[in-house]
Amino acid sequence: MHTLRSLPRILGMFLLIGLAVTKPSPAQEQSFQAMFDSYVQKDEIVGAAYVMVSENQVTEPHTLGMADLEARQPVNSNTIFHWASITKTLTAVAIMQLRDRGKLSLDDPIVKYVPELTRVHSDDNSIGRVTLRHLLSHTAGFQSPTWPYRDDTKPWQPFEPTEWAQLVAMMPYQELAFTPGTKFQYSNPGFIYLARVIEKLSGDPYQVYVQKNILTPLGMTRSYFNISPYHLAADRSNNYTLSAGSEGRSKVVANGREFHTGITTPNGGLNAPLGDLARWVGFLSGSSPEASSDLILARKSLEEMWQPVTPVPSDFATAAPEFMGLSFFLYPRGSGAGAVTLVGHTGHQAGFATFFVMNPRNGRAVIAAFNTSHSEADRDAYGKSNLGFRALVEEALEVVQ
């Protein structure tokens, strides 16, 4: 429940984007809430929250647990979560903005903008055939992790590489896994390379470009990358890792509120409260005023991003998307006249797990965040995914359909 102090703040945020604060159908709300609460309890999640969007309506956030155990700080409408790989959707829209402004083509080779990549080994110089479209659709052939050498038993190692030079130094010791465009392989470093394109063509650092061209126009005033601004630090959630303890009890390890994603910011550096994510997803789903204009990106360009590019393996990640578009996961549902393609993305980093799913046809969406993951079950977001999280994403897809 919100305090009287925090409630006006969240109401104001939603009203600014033209969305009335109300609930979707009671049956859908109650079914999802019951499953959400059960998942949080059974998986010992420290703190979590979600909102639902339905056409021009947004629910008040449903919150559970603690943003910080030691500080005895509950999750509320102001709590700032880390959104991890959902950041990729911002990076992709930035690329499409530059495309629509005539600055680039999606079929441009990435080495045109990032010549350092010619150092990566590839048969028949296939690295030269990797395009921006391949990077956006995770079909370029680059590896999944940005920093494949980390050993969690050695705390002196960086959380993520901090400098571009570190990635460049690794390039001669890497290779493309397959011919570009022939299959799907989720790749974090691919979005760092896309960010280099944004920086080269705009003249702005990645974070500055996104702030100027996406966050500020959408009124996402409490969203930021990496370390918290001083005036928002008190609202940032801690994050936790659970591991097997003595006598069958889980051991809860606090990872610390603040961490820096370094050079990997374009693939996973965003921090924001649910209210700001509602603004972003409201724009994507067509629920916000900005969605009906070309202020951020034309609808036809967004719809282009939601066209299937490549099938996604059934064992991938934390839900069951069937296709990858241009950075968005796609979930076809129904057949004939009732057929619809649902759209979404998940995120996992440190102890955080997040997702959003939406229906572009009716404007419905579910956005959720959790500040806890299991040391073994959830650490590898691209393979050993938690079954409870996966089931919750599937339930959310039913809600928005």
**Domain-ending residue, one of 154, 172, 206:** 206
Q: Both 272 and 162 in a single domain?
A: no
pLDDT tens string 20-37: 433 457 788 889 999 999
Do 153 and 301 lie in one domain? The reply is no
pLDDT (0 to 100) of residue 9: 42
What is the Cα–Cα distance from 397 to 343, expressed in whole angstroms?
9
CATH number of the domain bearing residue 116: 3.40.710.10
Confidence of residue 156 (pLDDT cuts 50, 70, 90): confident
Give mean pLDDT, residues 56-69. Answer: 90
pLDDT on residue 377: 42
Mean pLDDT of 271-280: 96
Domain match, 135 and 181 both: yes
Q: Is residue 19 part of a domain?
A: yes
Q: 307, 124 in Cβ contact below 8 A?
A: no
Q: Are 385 and 236 part of one and the same domain?
A: yes
Residue 375: pLDDT band by 50, 70, 90 thresholds?
low
Residues 182 and 229 in one domain: no
Provide the residue range defining the domain that includes 355. 7-81+220-400
Tens of pLDDT, residues 69-103: 999 999 999 999 999 999 999 999 999 999 999 99
Query: Which range (19-23, 127-131, 179-183) has the least confidence?
Result: 19-23
How many other C-beta atoms lie within 10 A of the C-beta of residue 220?
25
- HEC secondary structure over the chain: CCCCCCHHHHHHHHHHCCCEECCCCHHHHHHHHHHHHHHHHHCCCCEEEEEEEECCEECCCEEEEEEECCCCEECCCCCEEEEECCHHHHHHHHHHHHHHCCCCCCCCEHHHCCHHHHHCECHHHHHHHCEHHHHHCCCCCCCCCCCCCCCCCCCCCCCCCCCHHHHHHHHHHCECCCCCCCCCCCCCHHHHHHHHHHHHHHCCCHHHHHHHHHHCCCCCCCCEECCCCCCCHHHECCCEEEEECHHHCEEEEECCCCCCCHHHHHHHCEEEEHHHHHHHHHHHHCCCHHHHCCCCCCHHHHHHHCCCCEECCCCCCCCCCCEECCCCEEEEECCHHHCEEEEEEEEEECCEEEEEEEECCCCEEEEEEECEEECCCCCCCCCCCCHHHHHHHHHHHHHHC
The pLDDT of 174-193, averaged and rounded, is: 95
Residue 217 and residue 349 in contact, taking contact as beta carbons nearer than 8 Å: no
Boundary (domain end) residue, out of 183, 206, 229:
206
Tally of domains in the chain: 2
Given this model, what pLDDT does residue 59 score? 83
> In terms of domains, do 233 and 190 share one?
no
Crossing angle between the packed helical segments 189-202 and 87-100, to the nearest 10 degrees: 40
Nearest to 126 by CA among 138, 142, 113, 137: 142
Indicate if the pLDDT at residue 118 is higher than 60. yes
Full-model pTM: 0.90
Is 50 exceeded by the pLDDT of residue 1? no
User: What value does the mean pLDDT take over residues 267-278?
Assistant: 96
Which of 160, 179, 206 lies at the terminal end of a domain, its last residue?
A: 206
Looking at the structure, tell me whether residues 239 and 362 fall in a common domain. yes
Backbone angles phi, psi at 256, to 5 degrees: 100, 140
What average pLDDT does the structure give for the chain? 87
